[in-house]
Amino acid sequence: MEYKLRKAEPRDVPDILRLVKELAKYEEMEHQVTLTEKELLEDGFGDTPFYHCIITEIQGEKSSEDPKVVGFAMYYFTYDPWVGKQLYLEEFYVMDEYRGLGIGSGILRHLSNLAMKTRCTGMMFVVAENNEPSVQFYKRRGAEDLSQEEGWRLFRFDKDSLVKMAAPSEE
């Protein structure tokens, strides 16, 4: 089965949203995806992209069929004040039926190349602690668990907290 890895284009937005929802469903969080195709389009393909995507498509059995998008990775660039630019892997998903074909490895190889080309000193990402297959997939390739080794915990201020903090305080 031939597969092709390429940069996402505006026309891929419906497939990106479909795969985002599939991954969320796998994590039992599908209803939490409130992002729309319109936002994905503006945020990824406007003047200032807030994210980048690469997708993997598989050619249909008949040459007249459209290729099918079966995997994607969403990433952006972050900044470490000690060493500079990093590539941050935000989302990474290959449809169940297309696993075990080397698509995931191909995506990681492409991203590693990109990180080197853009002079990033590392790639970072989060993994849910109970996601053993993913933890192993990454550890096999040399990933270190910084939460374990250095004790980092991820925190969030949600919108309500931000609005409260942004409000003028009573003098």
Partner 1 sequence: MASFILRTAEPKDVSDILRLIKELAKFEEMEEKVVLTEKDLLEDGFGDHPFYHCLVAEVPNEKSSEGYTVVGFAMYYFTYDPWIGKLLYLEDFFIMQEFRGLGIGSKVLKVLSETAVKTRCSAMHFIVAENNTKSIEFYKRRGAADLSSEEGWRLFAIEKKNLLKMSAK
Question: Which positions from 142 through 171 interact with partner 1, judged by CB under 8 A?
Answer: 142-148, 150-166, 169
What is the footprint of partner 1 within residues 13-72 (CB under 8 A)? Answer: 20, 23-24, 29, 32-35, 39, 43, 50-51
Candidate residues 14, 60, 83, 132; the one interacting with partner 1 per rule CB under 8 A: 83
**Burial per residue of 143-165, b for 16 or more beta-carbon CB atoms within 10 angstroms, e otherwise:** beeeeeeeeeeeeeeeeeeeeee
Taking the C-alpha atoms of residue 58 and residue 1, their distance in angstroms, rounded to an integer, is 7
In terms of CB distance, is 64 or 133 closer to partner 1?
133
Kindly state the number of chain residues that form the binding site for partner 1, as judged by CB under 8 A: 71
Nearest Cα to Cα of residue 73 among 147, 28, 152, 12: 12
Q: CB count, 10 Å around CB of 79? A: 10
Per-residue string for binding with partner 1, 107-146, x by CB under 8 A?
-xx--xx-xx---xxxxxxxxxxx-------x--xxxxxx
Candidate residues 81, 100, 133, 171; the one interacting with partner 1 per rule CB under 8 A: 81
